[in-house]
Amino acid sequence: MAGRTVLEKLGITKISATDIAGQFWCEKKVELGHMYGAKRTKYMERGSQLHEKWQSKVFVPLTVETRNSADWMYKTAYENYQTMRSLSEKHVGRELFLYGSINGYKITGKIDELRIANGKVVVVEDKTTKSDNLDNIYKKSHMIQIMLYRKLLQDLKESKYAYQNIAASYGIETARMSDEFQKGLVEIGIRDELRSLPAMFKQMFSSINAMPELDNNLILRYSDMTSGDVFGEITVSYEDSEFSKELIDVMGYWNGQREARPVPESERWKCTRCEFFGKQCTAWYGANNA
């Protein structure tokens, strides 16, 4: 009998963009986070609060309560469609949930903001930090994350990942939304032809296909953790062939070709920031100046 895949061992069915970005901070921490549960810090909570504040300006949520996974998927497709409408009409949209595939694995992520500048769509990722230093220690993982978003969005726009892919991967055409959810859609005025899961996803894909060309210049926008004020931006240049090289090594872990790597000795100072240090992970435990 064949051994379990890495995803099966971790108890997950898809890889998040956050996981892939996290591999550029510490791959072992990503693995242990799935195995033992990652601790949610007060800084993460504060970041979530600020994101909710920013998204309320243009984001249009679906107010009907979800009851099952099919309801939730309809909600993401509806909200993505509304984000694309906002991008078209206001030249800015918030919170676009991404579906995609790399090496046959399901990949998901969420773009903080899209905006149109000089006729092109610019991907913007918001990051909150305790300092106003743009030479952030997490900058490499932030850059990988936003470049992955750019790749996934391009795949959606060019139909490299299209309706038939998501239908096959997530069972869109056989999934059943709850009766309560469907009644809620009627009550808020969703028109008949858009009240099925396939119809809403097709509408979503159509709106993404129609958006303008994507800009290769991506924006990392940094805000103060306390005030929420933006203090700087970094422009990240996206080049598809170079980014694809980065993904080859990353996917080696998910393919089961190698074990999860701890940080190299030169970066063992990161260990003191990790909840798994000296417990589930002892890679540099006890080392001088760890």
Q: What is the pLDDT of residue 69?
A: 97
Q: What is the pLDDT of residue 290?
A: 43
**Could you tell me which of 93, 23, 19, 4 has the C-alpha nearest to residue 261?**
23
DSSP secondary structure letters along 165-196: HHHHHHTTTT----HHHHHHHHHTT--GGG-S
Q: What is the pLDDT of residue 1?
A: 38
* Total H helices, total E strands in the chain: 9, 6
| Residue 131 DSSP code | S
Calpha distance 106→101 (Å, rounded): 5
Q: What is the pLDDT of residue 43?
A: 64
> What tokens were used for 198?
């396939």
Q: What is the pLDDT of residue 289?
A: 45
Q: What is the mean pLDDT of each run of 10 residues along the chain (290 residues)?
A: 82 96 96 89 69 71 95 97 96 96 96 97 92 79 96 98 97 97 96 97 98 98 86 94 92 96 93 92 72
Query: What number of other Cβ atoms are within 10 A of residue 94's Cβ?
Result: 25
Q: Where are the domains of the chain?
A: 1-39+260-290, 41-259
Pairing of strands 217-224, 230-237: antiparallel
Q: What is the pLDDT of residue 273?
A: 87
Q: What is the pLDDT of residue 288?
A: 52
